[in-house]
Amino acid sequence: MSSKITNDLPELVENGIISTEIAQRIEAYYQQHNEPDSNKLFTIFGILGGTLIGLGIILITAHNWDHFSRITKLFFAFLPMLIGQFVLGFSIIKNKSAAWKEAATVFLFFSVGACIALISQIYNIPGSLAGFLLLWTLLCVPLLFVTKSKAAIILHLFFCTYYALETGYRVFGSNETIPQFYFLLLLFPLWRYIQIIRSQQPSAVIHILHWLFPLSITISLPVCIEQSEGVGFLQYLLLFGILYNIGQLPYFTNKSSIKNGYQAFGTIGTTIVLLITSFRFMWKHEFDDVIFNSLEFFTAVVLFMIASGLLYINSKRFTSQNFNLFYFVFLFFGIIFFIGIINDIVATILINVLLFALGVTTIQIGAKKLDFGLLNFGMLIITAMIICRFFDTNIAFELRGLMFVLVGIGFFTTNYFMLKKQKRSELKK
Amino acid sequence: MKKTYIYLLFSIMVIAQIAVAGQIVYKYERTIASNNMYKFKTAPIDPNDPFRGKYIALRYEINSFATTDDDWEYDQKAYVYISKDEDGFAVLETVSKTLLPNTDFDYIEVDNLNYYSGKVHFELPFNRYYMEESKAYDAETLAREAQRGDAPATVYAVVHIENNLHVLIDIVVNGVSIKEAVAK
């Protein structure tokens, strides 16, 4: 992008669109802010190389060399870690390039894992995978800070999510470690992530992290569910409320949807939870196990407070332009949840009304903003809702068919009118 | 971050990584050095671990204790007390919910308890024996075959136990280490 702009500068100056002075300033800006592309490429290859060698070492050690003595095996267990520490230390002291530091960080991260794994293998330690992942990730926490490595953030995020998967989805048997340690592990990469956001350095990695963080939390939330699974739905809806509201913070204004994972997770997640809970049997059976004095409920309260705080921050910037029902869904759902514990029919009706309202308002906003994506998303909400209702109502087949045809026609006509409207407004300009 | 802090943090990390790994090694080496060796009769099967490689999963003959007390929770911890017979094989003495004072018996901490048919059932924790991947399957077959037939061979695990720490160092089939038996 920047190279295209700088390439075009002479032409722009020649045609009198910008002055020579402005052209020089633009050029100076990009020179100052952009690392040469070769450096970036070198860093990426460094990270890839470090990852491959590290993973290779884990596989080689997993082979288990039976004919080596215990001492020899121990020597090879520690060797990669010591090499990694030496190389990283060297690159810090000599202040080597980012590529050096990133590659050494990634290599050391994997070699620490290999070292612990090999020791467990040598002594046949039966410990759980979760305990191993916890120890490994904790021992590598400083890597996030000593080199400011961005690869380390992704690695930490990946492995703490892996830990959550190991502990949070356990149906049978007890955990040797505490599943909620996930949040402790998450805290460190989160800290670095916020640091990078605040430094406002342009970086491609940050856009990836805007997707990876909400993904990790969405996957890992079951670490807060022990016995009262019904509250899980409330937790998830509150979480999606938080994610949506984060996606609307001033930082994300003027950022395209592709760079705003929070908004995507918030809207899609909210819709999915609402669709699931729009069935009456959910309210009839799933929420029988709601216990107020539980970890699940405590988590829900914390999530509600965070969501409310974010909503308050966002509410200061509400205008008729950016107002959206998605901001408030978590509030409504909270109320409906309590109604649902007492009366399942009222809750089911209210969820369906809420879902329908969401669909309609989304279509409205899409039409107003001439945004085809939003318009069709709204249509999709209503279509999904209609499909869901077909499963639990006794509507005759011909009527169902007719409704589908009507929705299909709706899709075509709304898109057609929007296209016409867009063309008209373009002509006016 | 200031350079001094970076150096400090880096040094702490290096020391912690070496110390934690070293401490695990030290702990288990000390248990082996104590030379308090038991033999546990086994029945192995063969799974996989993504990081640590192939291993033989082991079950032991010592896996339950007859008691009239039926109040055992699944996620509760218990202590299995053992002694040795004249051949060095482990003999189950008792299972207790708490640590017993004034006893000379060695003990092993177990969890995942299950009470049925008048017995509390448990699994001894040293249930993995890592082997070279090419040998793990053969070892499993060898151990299984050896325990079949009219005169089943004795298959046992050699375990060092000291202060609730245990290190499984070998599996012996018909008096030969399973690594050598498979190599043949």
- Which of B1, B112, B168 minimises the CB distance to A124? B168
Share of chain B above pLDDT 70, in %: 86
CB contact under 8 A, A81 and B20: no
Q: Are residues B119 and B171 in the same domain?
A: yes
Residues forming a β-bridge with B49: B53
Q: In the predicted model, is pLDDT for residue A25 greater than 90?
A: no
Please give the mean pLDDT across all residues of chain A: 85
pLDDT band at A174 (very low <50, low <70, confident <90, very high): low
**pLDDT value at position A217?**
95
Q: Is A387 on the interface with B (CB under 8 A)?
A: no
CB contact under 8 A, B135 and A66: yes
Chain B nearest-CA distance from A427, in A, is: 55
Using DSSP, state whether A335 is helix, strand or coil: helix
- Which of B25, B53, B112 minimises the CB distance to A74? B25
> Which residue on chain B is closest to A123 by alpha carbon?
B167
Task: Give all strands of the β-sheet with B90-96 in edge-to-edge order.
Answer: B90-96, B78-84, B106-110
> Which residue on chain B is closest to A80 by alpha carbon?
B18
Q: Are residues B26 and B92 in the same domain?
A: no
H/E stretch holding B107 reads: strand B106-110
Tell me what the mean pLDDT of segment A261-279 comes to. 93
pLDDT digits (tens, 9 = 90+) for A310-349: 999 998 887 777 778 899 999 999 999 989 888 888 998 8
Chain A nearest-CA distance from B63, in A, is: 17
Chain A nearest-CA distance from B150, in A, is: 32
- Which of B127, B133, B167 minimises the CB distance to A63? B133
**Between A133 and A426, the higher pLDDT residue:** A133
A92-116 burial by CB neighbour count: b if 16+ within 10 A, else e? beeebebbbbbbbbbbbbbbbbbbb
- Measuring CA to CA, how many Å separate A157 from each of A46, A151, A414? 19, 10, 42
**pLDDT value at position A163?**
93
Residue corresponding to tokens 């369906």: A352
Domain ranges of chain A: 35-126, 129-224, 226-392
Q: How many inter-chain contacts (A to B, CB under 8 Å) are there? A: 105
- Amino acid identity of residue A129, one-letter, is L
The residue among A115, A123, A139 with the most chain B CBs within 10 A of its CB, best to mutate, is A123
Contact residues on chain B for A105, CB-CB shorter than 8 A: none
Chain B nearest-CA distance from A426, in A, is: 51
**pLDDT value at position B41?**
83
Q: Read off the tokens for A118.
A: 């090999």
Contact residues on chain A for B169, CB-CB shorter than 8 A: 124
**Which domain does B74 fall in, by range?**
37-183
pLDDT band at B181 (very low <50, low <70, confident <90, very high): confident
Considering only CA atoms, which of A76, A88, A2 is closest in space to residue A46? A88
Q: Are residues B108 and B126 in the same domain?
A: yes
Tell me what the mean pLDDT of segment A365-386 comes to. 86
Q: How many domains does chain B have?
A: 2
Q: Are residues B44 and B27 in the same domain?
A: no
* pTM, to two decimals: 0.81
pLDDT band at B155 (very low <50, low <70, confident <90, very high): confident
Chain B nearest-CA distance from A178, in A, is: 14
CB contact under 8 A, B9 and A117: no
Q: Are residues B171 and B107 in the same domain?
A: yes
Provide Rg for chain B, Cα atoms. Answer: 20
**pLDDT value at position B45?**
55
Tell me what the mean pLDDT of segment B134-159 comes to. 73
**pLDDT value at position A329?**
93
Residue ranges of A 44-63 with Cβ closer than 8 A to chain B: 58, 61-63
Q: Are residues B55 and B133 in the same domain?
A: yes
B80 vs B107: CA distance, rounded Å: 5
Residue ranges of A 247-266 with Cβ closer than 8 A to chain B: none
> Which residue on chain A is closest to B11 by alpha carbon?
A89
- Amino acid identity of residue A51, one-letter, is T
Q: Are residues B93 and B151 in the same domain?
A: yes
pLDDT digits (tens, 9 = 90+) for A48-93: 888 888 888 777 776 766 777 888 889 888 999 999 999 999 999 9
A371 vs A240: CA distance, rounded Å: 22
Helices (H), A140-229: 143-146, 150-168, 181-199, 204-220
Tell me what the mean pLDDT of segment A109-127 comes to. 88
Q: Are residues B48 and B29 in the same domain?
A: no
Tell me what the mean pLDDT of segment B27-55 comes to. 77
Q: Are residues B129 and B159 in the same domain?
A: yes
Chain B nearest-CA distance from A349, in A, is: 41
pLDDT digits (tens, 9 = 90+) for A199-227: 877 778 888 999 999 999 999 998 888 87
Tell me what the mean pLDDT of segment A265-286 comes to. 89
Tell me what the mean pLDDT of segment A8-28 comes to. 82
Residue ranges of B 94-133 with Cβ closer than 8 A to chain A: 111-112, 125-133
Residue ranges of B 57-86 with Cβ closer than 8 A to chain A: 74-75
Q: Read off the tokens for B92.
A: 């189950």
**pLDDT value at position A156?**
95
Provide Rg for chain A, Cα atoms. Answer: 27
pLDDT band at A1 (very low <50, low <70, confident <90, very high): very low
pLDDT band at B159 (very low <50, low <70, confident <90, very high): very high
pLDDT band at B48 (very low <50, low <70, confident <90, very high): low
What torsion do the CA atoms of A356, A362, A366, A372 make, to the nearest 10 degrees? Answer: -80
Tell me what the mean pLDDT of segment A149-164 comes to. 93
Chain B nearest-CA distance from A62, in A, is: 4
Of A19-23, B54-58, B134-138, which range is least confident?
B134-138
Please give the mean pLDDT across all residues of chain B: 83
- CB-count exposure of residue B159 (10 Å: 0-12, 13-18, 19+): buried
Considering only CA atoms, which of A354, A382, A355, A377 is closest in space to residue A366? A377
On whether ipTM exceeds 0.85, the answer is no
**pLDDT value at position B46?**
56
Residues forming a β-bridge with B57: B45, B128
Q: Are residues B58 and B104 in the same domain?
A: yes
**pLDDT value at position A396?**
72
Contact B131, B54 (CB under 8 A): yes
A273 vs A283: CA distance, rounded Å: 13
CB contact under 8 A, B127 and A115: no
pLDDT digits (tens, 9 = 90+) for B65-117: 888 888 888 777 889 999 988 888 999 999 988 888 888 889 998 877 888 88
The residue among B8, B13, B132 with the most chain A CBs within 10 A of its CB, best to mutate, is B13
Tell me what the mean pLDDT of segment A236-251 comes to. 93
